[in-house]
Amino acid sequence: MKITGPILCVVGARPNLMKVAPLLRAFAAHAPAIASGLVHTGQHYDRAMDGQFFDALGLPPPDAHLGIGSGTHAVQTAQAMERFEPVLDASAAGAVLVVGDVNSSLACALVAAKKGVPVIHVEAGLRSGDWSMPEEINRVLTDRLSDLLFTTERAAADNLRREGIDAGRVHFVGNVMIDSLRQHLPAAGAGRKALAGLDSMGKLPRSGAYGVITLHRPSNVDDAGVLAGLVATLVEAAARLPMVFPVHPRTRACLEAGGLIGALERAAILPVVPLGYVEMLALMRDAALVLTDSGGMQEETTALGVPCGTLRDNTERPVTVTEGTNELVGRNRDRILALVARTLRSGGKRGRVPEFWDGRAAERIAGALAGLR
């Protein structure tokens, strides 16, 4: 594989921004610099929040914004393909780089592959084995389309080998999400101060004396009965450990539709608006425990050494369980409450930071790509 032009990097959702920011810095810092461009599909379409993340991460404005917005998986994927194609045609790109497992990543990889433009997938090879998750479909298909695959943990290469992908195209480089975390963690002190301004009810506990909740997976929030059961368990958990809950807009709509916001506000739970990147780092770093259904937060808590309970029955990031601080608790009341009790009693699970989660993954990727020019 030879790269003969700029590398066009695609972002679609906010977690993609944390992964692409260190890559763009590493490309610019490489000697000689690696030419690149940035396309934002707009899959996450809250412009105000996008602005916060671009500023916090030091990202340049995108060269193109496709503005696809919300919609079904089919609509988002189709619109991203339709709007990305002319951008790719006009770019003279030597390769298209996609990250993660969102609809935008698959859509833009598919357009590039059909046009004969090499595809690079960062965060390749992760598998949950759960085909009810749209992200699992996106992961598998994006990897199949990719010419070069960069992995975050060693188990990912085993997954790719089983699927028949040539090992010569796979490179274990570490986790670019952790590159961003390590760079911005020193600013988390200021983030903690900003959090205090959101606490109009005076419920923000002191450092180390609270847990954090995030929920956004359709399997957890779209079914009213499932969500009500989870809220009841979280209210019970908060009676033992106060919780801060940055509420995703989709989740808030589901909570309001189910009449559940009042139950949170009456409990030892502080619901807040979605936070900026540095503020969220501050919140996680100072927490006793995180309860989440987010893949990225499983990684971030492992890097921070903060115990994490994943509100799912599977994970595509097994290293966070085998080496890190993560435990799978699903929606099981007894497992969730037992995790809270263990955390209060003994400080919770303490793992270790996985191999190559050292803040230099983007440098390794830049070095590998420079050799193909």
Rounded distance, CA 49 to CA 129, Å? Answer: 32
pLDDT on residue 198: 57
Q: Where are the domains of the chain?
A: 7-174+357-370, 188-346
Joined tokens for residue 167: 């090992």
Rounded distance, CA 11 to CA 14, Å? Answer: 8
Rounded distance, CA 176 to CA 153, Å? Answer: 11
CB 123 within 8 A of CB 35: no
pTM of the model: 0.93
Joined tokens for residue 38: 């940035």
User: What b/e readout covers 140-170, taking b as 16+ CB neighbours within 10 angstroms?
Assistant: bebbebbbbbbbbbeebbebbeeeebeeebb
Rounded distance, CA 98 to CA 239, Å? Answer: 42
Rounded distance, CA 66 to CA 83, Å? Answer: 6
User: Are both 7-174+357-370 and 188-346 of the same fold?
Assistant: yes
pLDDT on residue 197: 60
pLDDT on residue 252: 93
pLDDT on residue 344: 95
Query: Which numeric CATH code is attached to 188-346?
Result: 3.40.50.2000
Number of Cβ within 10 Å of residue 77's Cβ equals: 22
Intervals of the chain under pLDDT 70: 44-51, 190-208
CB 108 within 8 A of CB 41: yes
Tell which CATH architecture fits domain 7-174+357-370.
3-Layer(aba) Sandwich (3.40)
pLDDT on residue 298: 98
Catalytic residue among 40, 184, 216, 248: 216
Q: Is position 216 annotated as part of the catalytic site?
A: yes
Give the tens place of pLDDT for each residue, 118-152. 999 999 999 999 999 999 999 999 999 999 999 99
